[in-house]
Amino acid sequence: MSSKRLKQAKKNLPLHLMLLPGVVLMLVFAYVPMYGIVIAFQQFVPAKGLFGNQTWVGLDNFRIVFTYPKIWQVLRNTVWISIWKIVLSVVVPVVFALLLNEIRLKVFKRSVQTIIYFPYFLSWVVFAGILIDVLSPGTGIVNTFIKSLGLDPIYFLGNENWFPTTVITTDILKTFGFNTVIYLAAISGIHPELYDVSAVDGANRWQQVIHITLPGIKIIVILLTVLGMGNILNAGFDQVWNLLNNNVLSTGEILDTYVYRQGILARLYGQGAAIALMKSVVSLGFIGSSYVIAYKYLNYRLF
């Protein structure tokens, strides 16, 4: 090793020291659980521990999982809910950002922003608690309003046909404000001269939106869509588990809730881990390709 190398290695020692606690924590709490996916190939007995002498069963757990009559239904529910979420979580915020961008009254603009992104910071427990109250067919204020119009009450959370719609809509309600602010930030980054020049050329406001604003935020829209597609198998455990009930399992059960139900609650550790492993591998593929696409075609650099 040259003396220059040695000198740099010595100089970098503090950097290694800084990283050490994080590396140790990640080894224990991220990499050991990654090793723990071997549970999917075992007849796992928790009492023996993660590194204990477990019985290996090859692919048995996977075979059993695929004989579950529900597995394909669960997969379909997951993909259906998440695709709608991915699409609407781009469309709704973009529309709101465009509308908000036309507001000249600063106080009004700021108040609307403050109100619409507050729910983003609430836990799903709190938000679901509110939803369960206001959507209740008997005493909920939403159904009171629907009934006052002379219509029948809607079982938003108790009817299997309504449940996915309710999940998708309420997720958008909770998160669209946050994304709206992202797009507003992107819009405010567009050079004002572009608008001035086009106004001189006689472009009206609508033409400016089509030809300047939308192209100006195109990259960030595509980027967030691409990155969102990595979540195709994550239909939102935090939300769905808080809203799910036995009446709507046929349309509402998603992969993550199913893993929890089978793997932890029913204590079928091996089978739960098998589903989780397949999900993780497929998700890794989706997330990995979405990053690669974003990196290659959108010049996105995360770090």
Contacts of 258 (CB under 8 A, 6+ apart): 70, 71, 74, 275
Please identify, using beta-carbon distances, which residue of 24 and 59 lies nearer to other proteins. Answer: 24
| Sole window of 26-34, 77-85, 151-159, 163-171 interacting with other proteins (rule: CB under 8 A) | 26-34
Q: Does 151 bind other proteins (CB under 8 A)?
A: no
The single-letter code of the amino acid at 255 is L
Q: Does 135 bind other proteins (CB under 8 A)?
A: no
Q: Does 23 bind other proteins (CB under 8 A)?
A: yes
Tokens of 108: 């009004």
CB of 250: closest distance to other proteins in angstroms?
A: 20
Q: Among 59, 63, 98, which Cα is nearest to 221's?
A: 98
Compute, in degrees rounded to 10, the torsion defined by CA atoms 14, 19, 24, 27: -140
Q: Convert residues 268-287 into a mask of x (bound to other proteins by CB under 8 A) and - (unbound).
A: -x--xx--xx-xx---x--x
Please identify, using beta-carbon distances, which residue of 239 and 251 lies nearer to other proteins. Answer: 239
Q: Convert residues 29-68 into a mask of x (bound to other proteins by CB under 8 A) and - (unbound).
A: xxxxxxxxx-x----x-x--xxx-----------------
For the segment 233-252, give every residue that binds other proteins (CB under 8 A): 237-238, 241-242
Please identify, using beta-carbon distances, which residue of 168 and 220 lies nearer to other proteins. Answer: 220
Compute, in degrees rounded to 10, the torsion defined by CA atoms 239, 241, 246, 251: 50
Whether the CA torsion 36, 41, 47, 51 is positive or negative: it is: negative
Compute, in degrees rounded to 10, the torsion defined by CA atoms 136, 137, 143, 144: -100
For the segment 180-199, give every residue that binds other proteins (CB under 8 A): 181-182, 185-186, 189, 196, 199
| Sole window of 60-68, 77-85, 124-132, 155-163 interacting with other proteins (rule: CB under 8 A) | 124-132
Q: Does 144 bind other proteins (CB under 8 A)?
A: yes
| Sole window of 9-17, 55-63, 81-89, 164-172 interacting with other proteins (rule: CB under 8 A) | 9-17
- The 10 Å Cβ neighbour count of residue 214 is 14
61 with 273: CB under 8 angstroms? yes
